[in-house]
Structure formats: structure tokens, C-alpha cells
């Protein structure tokens, strides 16, 4: 119980703040709470497959094949796979962080992890389809064509700028915080 | 529709896994649950923040700030709003369409959408937990800068 309260401490603090907000400004407070409740339900609907797939990946896919397909020296194959997996995902970007930790644990190269994060944030297929519908093909197509090279360049720059030491630390950390244990 | 596809794939793989090895499957489910449980407290904080933000900012307020003639100042404003807010796509795109109708410019909306997707100020603490301070700040900063380029191209092509 104490542990539970400790883990949800920040949430409880923010919840109390929103409660106070509601006391001072009923309209905004209630609107905020109802939007939050709606996005929570939305999230509960969208997110379960991501975590089930994460569990299956962790159990079934051996480290060796992850390294072969997406590790250092996996080349274009690794880049394309990372782009594809990120684009096929669903859910908000912060759901991608635990997935990347498992990727790192399984030996996926840092630049590919970053490409995966970039794809998850900008080229998710369901989201892009929706974008075509709402904002038109000129907007969506342009963004896509600029973003795909963009996320690859950013990923490569990040893994260059990180340096071996820094990246090793991140990998050690991923091993430690192993989200699945 | 899209999430049904993901559900379909997940169910097929789960069944395959179940027929191959029941023990491994239950282990996979436990691991998946564990990963979700680990990140749930942060999820809830982010969701509350987003709720308050969306309650305060309505389309009219935003479109006033980032109109067609607001130029690069409008782009910077739009990029800042996009970086700080965290709005799911199914809300963001219709909102952006509304904003365009209400007089916002394509370049500004480009900056807004791009930073919305790539930069997450609210989730920086979560990201730091996984990628460390340096990489997290660098990633968000580069994505922020890159969004201006995206905005410029979108403004040229779609605007």
C-alpha cells in the first residue's frame, strides 16, 4: 500500500492540483477532468496490443536474431525494419520508451532505436491516414517526405553525438530498468 | 479501424504462441502487464496535464495567435505550443483543420503538427528515465529545430 502511494505520488499531487483548480474555476476544472477521463478510456482501448506484443517479443525473439536484423551493421535492412515497426505502432510516444528499452536489451543499435522512436512519433500509419483525411494530401505527403529522411538524419546525428560511453550507459540502464521485470 | 488491425495481429500471434508453448505465453502476458504497470503512473500524470491544457486552450485562442500573417513569430509560437502540448492525433488533426479554417497559416500549422509529434516537453522526465538527460534534451532540441524546416517546406508546398 505504502509502495503503491509512493509510486503514484506525482499523480496524486497533480490530481489534487486539478481538484483545487476545479474549486476555483468549476468550468475549466470539470472540462479538464472529463477530457482526462476520455483520453484514459481511449488509451485503455489503444494500448493493450502494444504491451502484449512487447511481452511476446521479449519471450520469443532471441537476442541473436534481433542483433542480426537490427543491431550494429544491420545496415539498410535495420533502418527499414525500424522505420516499419515504428510506423506500424499505435499509442502515444511515451509508450514507445519501454519498447525501446527492450530493443536495447536485445541488442538493437542505438541509431535504429532512435529511428524507431522517430517513426513512432511521426509516421505511424494509422495516424498518417487520418492526417490525409483531415489536412489533405499536399500537407500529409509533404510532411511524410520531409520527415522520413529527417528522422534518419536526426537518429544518426544523435548516435554520433552520444559517443560510446554515453550510449553504453544508456544500454546498461535499459538492462537495469528492464520494463518487463 | 487501425487499432482493430493491431488487435487482429496481436490476437493471431498470441494464439500461435499459445499453441506452441503455454508457459511461454503466460510469461509473455505477465511481462507485458509488468511493462504497462511500470509506466502507468507516468501515463496518468501526462493524461491529467493534457486534460488541463486542452481545457484552457480552445481552437479560437490558438488560431488568433498563429494566423496567416503572423509570419515567423507565429511559427515560433505554434512550435512552442506544439512542443508543450501533447494531443493525440485523433484530436490534433481535426483541430488543425479547424484552425486552418479559422484563419491559421499552413506554415504555422506545419510547425504545430510537427512539434506536436516529435517534441514532448511534458514527457521529458519519462524520456530521461530511459535515454538519460543528454540524449533526451538533444533529441527534443533537434526535433524542435527540424520542425521549422518542415514548416517552411509545408508552407511552400501546401500554403
pLDDT digits (tens, 9 = 90+) for B86-144: 777 767 887 788 788 878 899 999 999 999 999 999 899 999 999 999 999 999 999 99
Q: Do A138 and B143 touch (CB under 8 A)?
A: no
Residues of B in contact with A134 (CB under 8 A): 93-94, 96-97
| Partners of B104 in beta bridges | B67
What are the structural domain ranges in chain B?
57-157
CB-based contact A100 B135, cutoff 8 Å: no
* Backbone angles phi and psi of B67, in degrees to 5: -65, 170
Task: List, for residues A94-106, the tens digit of each pLDDT value.
Answer: 889 999 999 999 9
Query: What is the average per-residue pLDDT within B11-17?
Result: 96
CB-based contact A49 B3, cutoff 8 Å? yes
Average pLDDT, chain A: 90
pTM: 0.84
> Is a pLDDT exceeding 80 seen at residue A84?
yes
C-alpha cell at A24: 476555483
Enter the DSSP assignment of A4: H
A101 touches chain B (CB under 8 A): yes
Q: What is the CA radius of gyration of chain A?
A: 19
Long-range contacts of residues A73-81, Cβ cutoff 8 Å, at least 24 apart = A73/A109, A74/A109, A74/A112, A78/A108, A78/A109, A78/A112, A79/A112, A79/A115, A79/A152, A81/A112
Closest by Cβ to A143, choosing from B113, B132, B142? B113
Is residue B102 within 8 A of residue B60, CB to CB? The reply is: yes
Q: Considering chain B, what percentage of its residues have pLDDT values greater than 70?
A: 97
Indicate if the pLDDT at residue B24 is higher than 50: yes
Share the mean pLDDT of chain B. Answer: 87
Does the beta carbon of A28 lie under 8 angstroms from any beta carbon of chain B?
yes
* A163 Cβ under 8 Å from any chain B Cβ: no
Contacts of A31 in chain B (CB under 8 A): 54-55
Beta-carbon count within 10 A of B155 CB: 18
CA distance B62 to chain A (A): 17
Give chain B positions within 8 Å (CB) of A133. 93
Confidence check: pLDDT of A90 > 80: no
pLDDT at B1: 47
Query: How many CB atoms are closer than 10 A to CB B150?
Result: 25
Asked if residues A107 and A66 have their Cβ atoms less than 8 Å apart, the reply is yes
Domains in chain A: boundaries: 1-46, 47-176
State the pLDDT at residue A71: 93
Distance CA A71, CA B114 (A): 28
Task: Give the whole-angstrom CA distance, residue A87 versus residue A93.
Answer: 12
Print burial letters for A54-70: b (CB count within 10 Å at least 16), e (below 16): bbbbbbbeeeeebbeeb
User: Residue written as cell 514532448?
Assistant: B120
Mean of pLDDT values over B58-82 = 83
Report the C-alpha gap between A32 and A17 in whole angstroms: 12
Size of interface A-B (CB pairs under 8 A): 234
Q: Cα separation of A172 and A153, whole Å?
A: 25
Helix (H, G, I), strand (E, B) or coil at A158: helix
Q: Which residues of B touch A29 (CB under 8 A)?
A: 55
- Is A92 in CB contact (< 8 Å) with chain B? yes
- The answer to whether the CB atoms of B44 and A21 lie below 8 A apart is no
Q: Does A91 touch chain B (CB under 8 A)?
A: no
Over residues A108-165, the pLDDT tens digits come to: 999 999 999 999 999 988 788 888 888 889 999 999 999 999 999 999 999 999 888 9
B36-49: per-residue pLDDT in tens?
888 888 888 888 88
Inter-chain touch B158–A136, beta carbons under 8 Å: yes
Residues of A in contact with B82 (CB under 8 A): none
pLDDT, greater one: A25 or A178:
A25
Short-list B42, B58, B25, CA closest to A52: B25
Can you give the pLDDT at residue B3?
A: 66
- Tell me which chain A residue has its CA closest to the CA of residue B119: A121
Eight-class DSSP state of A106: T
Arithmetic mean of pLDDT, B18-34: 94
Residues 6+ apart with CB under 8 A from A38: none
Amino acid at each position: 500500500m505504502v509502495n503503491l502511494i509512493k509510486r503514484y505520488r506525482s499523480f496524486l499531487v497533480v490530481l489534487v492540483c486539478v481538484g483545487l483548480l476545479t474549486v476555483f474555476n468549476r468550468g475549466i476544472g470539470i472540462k479538464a477532468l472529463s477530457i482526462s477521463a476520455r483520453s484514459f478510456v481511449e488509451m485503455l482501448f489503444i494500448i493493450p496490443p502494444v504491451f502484449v506484443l512487447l511481452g511476446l517479443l521479449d519471450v520469443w525473439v532471441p537476442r541473436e536474431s534481433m542483433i542480426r536484423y537490427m543491431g550494429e551493421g544491420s545496415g539498410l535492412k535495420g533502418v527499414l525494419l525500424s522505420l516499419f515497426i515504428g510506423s506500424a505502432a499505435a499509442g502515444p510516444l511515451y509508450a514507445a520508451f519501454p519498447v525501446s528499452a527492450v530493443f536495447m536489451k536485445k541488442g538493437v543499435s542505438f541509431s535504429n532505436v532512435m529511428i524507431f522512436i522517430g517513426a513512432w512519433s511521426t509516421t505511424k500509419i494509422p495516424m498518417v491516414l487520418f492526417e490525409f483525411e483531415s489536412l489533405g494530401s499536399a500537407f500529409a505527403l509533404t510532411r511524410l517526405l520531409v520527415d522520413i529522411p529527417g528522422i534518419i538524419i536526426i537518429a544518426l546525428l544523435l548516435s554520433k553525438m552520444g559517443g560510446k560511453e554515453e550510449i553504453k550507459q544508456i544500454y546498461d540502464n535499459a538492462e537495469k530498468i528492464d520494463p518487463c521485470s | 479501424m487501425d487499432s482493430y488491425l493491431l488487435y487482429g495481429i496481436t490476437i493471431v500471434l498470441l494464439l500461435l504462441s499459445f499453441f506452441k508453448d503455454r508457459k511461454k505465453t503466460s510469461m509473455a502476458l505477465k511481462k507485458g502487464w509488468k511493462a504497462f504497470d511500470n509506466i502507468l503512473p507516468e501515463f496518468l500524470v501526462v493524461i491529467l496535464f493534457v486534460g488541463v491544457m486542452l481545457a484552457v486552450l480552445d481552437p479560437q485562442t490558438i488560431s488568433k495567435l498563429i494566423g496567416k500573417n503572423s509570419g515567423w513569430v507565429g511559427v515560433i509560437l505554434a512550435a512552442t505550443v506544439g512542443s508543450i502540448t501533447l494531443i493525440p492525433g485523433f484530436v490534433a488533426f481535426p483541430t488543425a483543420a479547424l484552425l486552418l479554417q479559422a484563419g491559421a497559416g499552413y506554415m504555422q500549422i506545419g510547425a504545430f503538427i510537427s512539434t506536436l509529434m516529435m517534441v514532448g516537453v511534458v514527457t521529458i522526465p519519462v524520456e530521461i528515465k530511459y535515454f538519460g538527460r543528454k540524449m533526451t534534451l538533444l533529441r527534443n532540441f533537434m526535433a524542435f529545430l527540424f520542425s521549422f524546416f518542415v514548416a517552411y517546406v509545408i508552407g511552400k508546398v501546401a500554403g
